Structure 1
Amino acid sequence: MFFQVNTDVIKGCIPLYSLICFSASSKSKCFLCNIFIIKATMHSLALRNALRYFPPSHHATLAPEFAQELRQYGHIYMYRFCPALRMRAYPIDQYPCRTRQAASMMLMIMNNLDPAVAQFPQELVTYGGNGQVFSNWAQFRLVMHYLSEMTEEQTLVMYSGHPMGLFPSLPSSPRAIITNGMVIPNYSSRDQYEKMFALGVSMYGQMTAGSYCYIGPQGIVHGTMLTVLNAGRRYLGSGDLRGRVFVTSGLGGMSGAQAKAAVISGCIGSAVCPCDGVPLRKRHEQGWLMEVTSSMEQCIKRIREARSSKTPLSLGYHGNIVDLCLRRQVMAINKLSNAGMFFWDYGNAFLLEAQRAGAEVKKVDGGATEFRYPSYVQHIMGDIFSLGFGPFRWVCTSGEPQDLAVTDSIAATVLEEISASVSDRIKQQYNDNIRWIREAGKHKMVVGSQARILYSDQKGRVCIALAINQAIADGRVSAPVVISRDHHDVSGTDSPFRETSNVYDGSAFCADMAVQNFVGDAFRGATWVALHNGGGVGWGEVMNGGFGLLLDGSEEAAKRARLMLNWDVSNGVRVQRGRQPERIRPHLLICSLLGLQAFAEWLNNGNISNEMMRWGCCCCPTGGEMLTPRESLSSSTIILADLTLFLHSWRWRIMYLHYIDSCS
């Protein structure tokens, strides 16, 4: 039974200038340590930037407090203005609003700041160490105020946590446009981030933190389960993982899902919690760890017992995966790998940082994004993304577990119907995802809002969204549902050391896909959209975006879902250079998705033979001497690279080369 909160109570977190006292004892135990020492002139500028949120009559009271926060924590969080109301995803009807689209955003924002969900809620950090929802508490109050007053002919514009205000727009427009960390590329260094964050002019939104779409550790557990399951198939030759051991490290917002994913996959998951015991206890209390220990001997004993009985187990060890440095850790990994262990980087830029630290991880003759060990995208998830499968998700805004159970059943039925007519390769994905959604409820993964994560392809997402929308219309689901996805998806992220690490055509460092996805979702019906610098592997290393779309049972919502989801997925289906085209054939998949069957065979001409690539060396075609570029252009035989097709569907660049012999 939910504690009923009157809308007037929630309005209590909206007034801007009520100086709510905030006791030091209720602040986070672990403050962020990325303190940037700024010059006195910059200190004054940071203080001025913070005070502009308030009338001059309050400056004398606030200035000393803000100055102390800046000196102590390297940033002005405005702790005084943290609401006394408990942060959580209240049922949508309890939010004061003029449109439910705005209320849905308020619900999602408060879920991101729920202490059960967020890593450092008092610093507005949802996950990832410094992935924030807003930069300070004044911004939170302003945004909640704007959303409570917003109509369906207005759009809220967000600049790195700062609300620029409500601007006139069309009813079909997004209700919010969010950008986080957008800086000139030449100034996208970590040092510049520290400076701009201290000044309060930019912030790090991670992925779903700054886009208001985080759903707790469940948001990554399905993808982790698929990674573990497919790692078993690839490295061990079997999907039966009983008695197998999966070792990982960390129990934060993302890594906290790995032990649970191991159990769901049927194996033994041992998670090492580095130094801080708080996340270890938190995950154990939430049911994401079955057992905890601080004894290495006990840890090894329990793993051996579980292996012997082939019993799934999630075990947390309070220790440190390595005591000295990245180089020592890599030495240990190299030794274990030589003894038969399979290792991969699971997306935190470990190999990149290890290389920068001087560890032996670089692949001999490898490209800029290749290391001695693969990332999980290069060996496992890349193929899944190429087929259009990614982390679709939804949130039941009623807050009722029964609504979530109904949507789980709807999704399972939809996937089972689709799977009856798909190819064998895609059927494996459908079978894995049907197994997931059928068993999801019993694993008790909800932390915060009543949400579900489900890997699905374009057809699956559209059909599930339409079916849920119909269930809302006929009353089987009692309140609207927000659909979204992780930014870590088929088309949401350009990240050369993670999501796009398996792109080998030279475009791994390009960011067109993520930006185009953000823009395309905005004018195809999303309720809100977000675009971020950084996320997953760090500031300056990634461009990523996401969306939220409210399903309310209307025909308009169905139209938006169909149009937007078609774009959101098909933009990302792509050919990965350096792979066998017959293995995935995304050119045929895209044609099928978009109804372009007539182009399928022509697009297949994008597979350029190695023989044709000799022309790229400026060599004489008759086997003569090497020519310089200028000489080759003036010779009797020329090559015309006619870019007749340039489809950028997550690195899908197809160049159809025409050879022209001017002598003939």
Structure 2
Amino acid sequence: MLASSPSENPAPSGLRGHSADSTPRDPEQAASQPPVSPILARGSEPIAAARGATLRARNWRAEALLRMFENVLEVGERPQDLIVYASLGKAARNWDEACAIAQALLALEENETLVLQSGAAIGVLPMHADAPLVVSAVNNTVGRWATPERFYERAGNGQTIWGGLTAAAWQYIGRQGVLQGTYELLRVIARRHLGGERPEDLRGRWLLTAGLGGMGSAQPISAKMLGLSSITVEVDPARAGRAFAAGAIDLLTGDRDWAFAELRRAQEEDRVIAIGLVGNAADVFSSCLPRGLTPDVVSDQTAAHDPRYGYVPVGYTIDEWVAARESDPESIERAARASITWQVEAMLELQSRGSIVFENGNNLRVQAIEHLGEADAPRINAIPGFMEAYLRPLFARGIGPFRWVCLSGSEKDLRVIDELASRLFPDRPEVARWIELARAHVPPQGLPARSCWLGHGERSRIAGAVNALVADGTLSAPVLFTRDHLDSAGMTHPRIGSERMRDGSDGVTDWPLLDAMLLAAGGADLVAVHSGGGGYSGWMQSAGVSVVADGSAGAARRITRTLDSDTGLGVLRHATAGYPEAIETLAAAGPAGTTGAAKATETARLAHEPDPTERSTNRA
């Protein structure tokens, strides 16, 4: 980090470093008043994002990012450790750096850019009014360094973090962030395999899955919204208890006989029920086989991507596991992979008995193959990944997990935007249906927010309309728009978002890097580039974006440029790979499309059509 102490060679004008004590508070004031941001209390008290229309920062763009930083900790799993989700996903490197970041945001001007490196505030550079306020790169390492062992070493030395997909980019909104994705996934499965997606089509059907953490707890909610009952296994009693208290599950037990009996009772009474079962997923999944139980759908959303910190092996209590992973981490990793393999073998057997089985993006299959050897890879990969099997047609059209956050903290503001979204896309009635379901079933977490799968042109349309509502005072404060990194252009992971691409580009990371460049060029308020850590090391690259609708003309321009280029590149990516849905989207946009992105997509399509009269000889 740039030194905050005086230097013999002063920095160029406008360049400044940041550390936790860069802007010290008056000691008497600090003793008598709470900190401007709860982050500055260093985890000694509960963290909640600021609400209302009062600015603490020097502009709404910086204020919005500070509130999102606070919000991911408010809804996170272990905010005292800066852990947001998935065992290791952190919002900042440590508390010193968290404070430095908060202080930098409080002082940031609109013509400056704060630079973050793996969760640390490096410095502030003079820029211009349409430049990003924050650029962030997290744990990006060259190929031979991108190993779990190297990551654990560097993280242990305080040199890096895993930022998850949305933790270090301050875009996580709680379980709702993956709720609609899970709902859409189960909806496609129901339509394709279970006879339909209406509740009457799904009567008596059920889902067996695992994981009730920040993202996993979206599974039983999504299933119930659709009309599927569920049993969700969770090894950590405390985490299961939090999910129950939050309303993610209807019943919670540690008795599997009772859980299966309650499921049968609900089926007989034509009720949909969500049951949480405290136990080990490998053990419970395997126990279905001798019982003759064949769930209709089977998956898993534990943190199996990290065999050291994310998956408790069979035979360990939580306390034993926590102690052993520090004293003998290699042994814990071997035991975890053995248990994961046991679970995967059970899933394969259930698949052979008729269950619809898929991996939900947590490298479950990778860990089993690591344990068994590459010779077993074809057999293990008979379990498909969710994206390749079910959701890619949406991504090919640029449709993915968009979201908005009401910085006012006002549920009234959220209702206004929900109603706007419900009527803005009449050609996609599923949007209005989702908004209706979300308002009825999504438990509130943190700042009022909504996740909504929107596509190319749709995102900029609603964000632009919201910007106008901020400008005319209909909304009481600005609104931040963002998305999951797992999006049409934003992610490469050959076992999740880009598995089995038609053109073999599963592991090509050009797309998220191009995405980040376009987002920065378009003036997004925050642009982040992440790579995997822990068990995801070497497996992924992603780009994230946040843009603030503050009611200004500048915001209107930034919204259109960034959101249209983001989805436009996603359509281009899939058209280049040969997906018909993307090619149709290009054709619909046409050469006279309303955005630059639409024109770019038509240009790309024409570039792939051979000229019948001449061969190009000047392509570089």
On whether the aligned pair clears a TM of 0.5, the verdict is yes
- For 2:276, what is the secondary structure of its paired residue? strand
Deviation at 1:152, TM superposition (A): 1.1
Is 1:362 the counterpart of 2:360? The answer is no
Tell me which of 506, 511, 514 is aligned to 1:513.
511
Q: Is the 8 A contact 1:494 1:508 kept in 2?
A: yes
Deviation at 1:432, TM superposition (A): 2.6
Is 1:194 the counterpart of 2:156? The answer is no
Deviation at 1:321, TM superposition (A): 1.3
- For 2:159, what is the secondary structure of its paired residue? coil
Distance in 1 separating the partners of 2:76 and 2:409: 18
Distance in 2 separating the partners of 1:434 and 1:536: 39
- For 1:458, what is the secondary structure of its paired residue? coil
Is 1:541 the counterpart of 2:539? The answer is yes
| Other-structure match for 1:371 | 381
Deviation at 1:203, TM superposition (A): 1.2
Deviation at 1:545, TM superposition (A): 1.4
| Other-structure match for 1:409 | 419
Structure 2 letter corresponding to 1:409: E
Is 1:333 the counterpart of 2:347? The answer is yes
Q: Is the 8 A contact 1:155 1:174 kept in 2?
A: yes
| Other-structure match for 1:657 | none
Distance in 1 separating the partners of 2:144 and 2:124: 31
Tell me which of 271, 276, 284 is aligned to 2:232.
271
Deviation at 1:551, TM superposition (A): 0.3
Structure 1 letter corresponding to 2:598: L
| Other-structure match for 2:305 | none
Larger Rg belongs to: 1
| Other-structure match for 1:383 | 393
Q: Is the 8 A contact 1:251 1:271 kept in 2?
A: yes
1:396-475 → structure 2 map (5 Å cutoff): 396-416=406-426, 419=427, 430-475=428-473
| Other-structure match for 1:550 | 548
| Other-structure match for 2:209 | 248
Deviation at 1:150, TM superposition (A): 1.2
Distance in 1 separating the partners of 2:568 and 2:582: 18
Distance in 1 separating the partners of 2:133 and 2:265: 54
Tell me which of 216, 222, 227 is aligned to 1:261.
222
Distance in 2 separating the partners of 1:582 and 1:397: 35
Distance in 1 separating the partners of 2:358 and 2:125: 46
Q: 1:464 to 1:53 in 2, by over 3 A?
A: closer
Tell me which of 102, 116, 120 is aligned to 1:144.
102
| Other-structure match for 2:478 | 480
| Other-structure match for 1:213 | 171
Distance in 1 separating the partners of 2:605 and 2:482: 34
- For 1:362, what is the secondary structure of its paired residue? helix
Q: Is the 8 A contact 1:524 1:564 kept in 2?
A: yes
| Other-structure match for 2:255 | 295
Tell me which of 261, 265, 272 is aligned to 1:305.
265
Distance in 1 separating the partners of 2:491 and 2:546: 16
| Other-structure match for 1:649 | none
Structure 1 letter corresponding to 2:400: G
Q: Is the 8 A contact 1:535 1:543 kept in 2?
A: no
Structure 1 letter corresponding to 2:210: S
Deviation at 1:102, TM superposition (A): 1.0
Deviation at 1:90, TM superposition (A): 1.4
Deviation at 1:577, TM superposition (A): 8.4
Deviation at 1:182, TM superposition (A): 1.8
Distance in 2 separating the partners of 1:80 and 1:466: 34
Distance in 2 separating the partners of 1:644 and 1:340: 55
Distance in 2 separating the partners of 1:398 and 1:211: 20
- For 2:248, what is the secondary structure of its paired residue? coil
Distance in 1 separating the partners of 2:84 and 2:527: 18
Q: Is the 8 A contact 2:162 2:534 kept in 1?
A: no
| Other-structure match for 2:56 | 96
Distance in 1 separating the partners of 2:555 and 2:578: 39
- For 1:491, what is the secondary structure of its paired residue? coil
Q: Is the 8 A contact 1:221 1:257 kept in 2?
A: yes
Q: Is the 8 A contact 1:111 1:448 kept in 2?
A: yes
- For 1:545, what is the secondary structure of its paired residue? strand
Deviation at 1:474, TM superposition (A): 1.8
| Other-structure match for 1:135 | 93
| Other-structure match for 2:499 | 501
- For 1:363, what is the secondary structure of its paired residue? helix
Q: Is the 8 A contact 2:77 2:84 kept in 1?
A: yes
Deviation at 1:111, TM superposition (A): 0.8
| Other-structure match for 2:191 | 233
Distance in 2 separating the partners of 1:408 and 1:536: 37
Q: 1:398 to 1:602 in 2, by over 3 A?
A: closer
Q: Is the 8 A contact 2:234 2:278 kept in 1?
A: yes
- For 1:523, what is the secondary structure of its paired residue? helix
Q: Is the 8 A contact 2:43 2:80 kept in 1?
A: no
Distance in 2 separating the partners of 1:392 and 1:642: 39
Q: Is the 8 A contact 1:220 1:257 kept in 2?
A: yes
Q: Is the 8 A contact 1:520 1:567 kept in 2?
A: yes
Q: Is the 8 A contact 1:515 1:545 kept in 2?
A: yes
TM-score (norm 2): 0.79
Q: 1:597 to 1:401 in 2, by over 3 A?
A: closer
Distance in 2 separating the partners of 1:461 and 1:580: 22
| Other-structure match for 1:112 | 72
| Other-structure match for 2:10 | none
Deviation at 1:439, TM superposition (A): 2.4
1:628-651 Cα shifts (integer Å, max 9, x gaps)? xxxxxxxxxxxx9969989xxxxx
Is 1:286 the counterpart of 2:301? The answer is no
Q: Is the 8 A contact 1:231 1:380 kept in 2?
A: yes
Is 1:575 the counterpart of 2:583? The answer is no
Distance in 1 separating the partners of 2:117 and 2:523: 21
CA RMSD of aligned residues (A): 2.8
Structure 2: 5+ residue stretches without partners:
5-18, 23-38, 284-313, 315-338
1:445-494 Cα shifts (integer Å, max 9, x gaps)? 32111111000111221111111111112222111000000101111111
Deviation at 1:337, TM superposition (A): 1.2
Q: Is the 8 A contact 2:477 2:550 kept in 1?
A: yes
Distance in 2 separating the partners of 1:194 and 1:479: 41
Bigger mean CA offset, 573-582 vs 88-97:
573-582
Tell me which of 549, 561, 570 is aligned to 2:559.
561
Q: Is the 8 A contact 2:397 2:456 kept in 1?
A: no
Aligned residues: 521
Distance in 1 separating the partners of 2:127 and 2:52: 24
Q: Is the 8 A contact 1:392 1:455 kept in 2?
A: yes
Q: 1:576 to 1:295 in 2, by over 3 A?
A: farther
Q: Is the 8 A contact 2:397 2:581 kept in 1?
A: no
Q: 1:172 to 1:581 in 2, by over 3 A?
A: closer
Structure 1 letter corresponding to 2:342: R
Q: Is the 8 A contact 1:330 1:361 kept in 2?
A: no
Distance in 1 separating the partners of 2:126 and 2:185: 44
Q: 1:53 to 1:401 in 2, by over 3 A?
A: closer
Q: 1:642 to 1:195 in 2, by over 3 A?
A: farther
Q: Is the 8 A contact 2:586 2:601 kept in 1?
A: no
- For 2:403, what is the secondary structure of its paired residue? strand
| Other-structure match for 1:172 | 130
Q: 1:490 to 1:122 in 2, by over 3 A?
A: same
Structure 1 letter corresponding to 2:114: L
Distance in 1 separating the partners of 2:617 and 2:51: 53
Higher relative contact order (CA 8 A, sep 6+): 2
- For 2:360, what is the secondary structure of its paired residue? coil
Percent identity, please.
28
Structure 1 letter corresponding to 2:565: W
Structure 1: 5+ residue stretches without partners:
1-15, 17-51, 56-78, 365-369, 420-429, 607-639, 647-664
| Other-structure match for 1:631 | none
